[in-house]
């Protein structure tokens, strides 16, 4: 692991999965340091779910505060998808969909990761994975039918949060 990833991992040892204040403080301490985004991506899929959850939360926050992810970071993120185990990390990655462009080479991997999430037991995962599929379809037409099906299912979902997200696409 890189030096920044080690420092982030040490700070995230204190994260219990609920204390967002700790994540905000960790972000403030490290965001301006060189290699910050690299360090976050290294920690995605960490053996300790709370570490991965904290890293993905900070990545999402960074995207919201700063700018879209560079293509190199997007590729690294796509490569880490298979190592994500916790629903919170899945949610945060899905919520980042507006902030990165997926290359055609990585689009299939991303779509295959998102598709099963559209039927996840947690409504927010269903809503945001559908959202991410729709964003992917905007970038690559060959995913339009998959996105349309996911959106149609979301519009008929029993959870109002899922239906609302689908209506806003």
pLDDT at site 2 = 86
Best CA proximity match to 39, nearest among 25, 16, 56: 56
Joined tokens for residue 138: 């905007």
Q: What is the pLDDT of residue 66?
A: 83
**Per the structure block, which two tokens stand in for 120?**
């996840």
Dist CA 153 CA 7 (whole Å): 42
The angle formed by the CA atoms of residues 36, 33 and 82, to the nearest 5 degrees, is 5
Query: Quick check: 39 and 8 in contact, CB under 8 A?
Result: yes
Q: What pLDDT was estimated at residue 67? A: 77
pLDDT the model gives residue 123: 99
- Find the mean pLDDT for residues 43-58: 97
CB 155 within 8 A of CB 166: yes
Inter-residue contact 91 to 75 (CB < 8 Å)? no
pTM above 0.75, yes or no: yes
Tell me the average pLDDT of the chain. Answer: 97
By the 8 A CB rule, do 53 and 17 touch?
yes
CA 87 vs. chain centroid, Å, equals 10
Name the residue among 22, 109, 94, 30 with its Cα closest to residue 62.
Answer: 30
Task: Pick the closest to residue 22 from 12, 30, 32, 31 (CA basis).
Answer: 12
Mean pLDDT of 10-18: 95
The whole-angstrom separation of Cα 85 and Cα 104 is: 25
Residue in 4, 9, 11, 20 with CA at minimum distance from that of residue 57: 20
The answer to whether the beta carbons of residues 56 and 97 sit under 8 Å apart is no
Contact 47, 59 (CB under 8 A): no
């Amino acid at each position: 692991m890189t030096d920044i990833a080690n420092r982030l991992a040490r700070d995230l040892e204190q994260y219990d999965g609920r204390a967002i204040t700790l994540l905000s403080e960790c972000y403030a301490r490290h965001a301006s340091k060189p290699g910050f985004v690299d360090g976050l991506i290294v920690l995605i899929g960490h053996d300790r779910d709370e570490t991965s959850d904290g890293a993905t939360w900070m990545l999402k926050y960074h995207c919201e505060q700063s700018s879209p992810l560079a293509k190199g970071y997007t590729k690294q993120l796509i490569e880490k998808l298979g190592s994500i185990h916790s629903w919170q990390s899945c949610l945060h990655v899905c919520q980042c969909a507006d902030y990165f462009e997926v290359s055609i080479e990585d689009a299939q991997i991303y779509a295959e990761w998102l598709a099963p999430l559209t039927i996840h037991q947690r409504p927010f995962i269903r809503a945001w994975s559908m959202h991410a599929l729709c964003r992917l379809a905007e970038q690559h037409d060959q995913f339009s039918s998959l996105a349309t099906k996911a959106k149609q299912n979301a519009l008929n979902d029993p959870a109002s949060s899922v239906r609302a997200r689908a209506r806003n696409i």
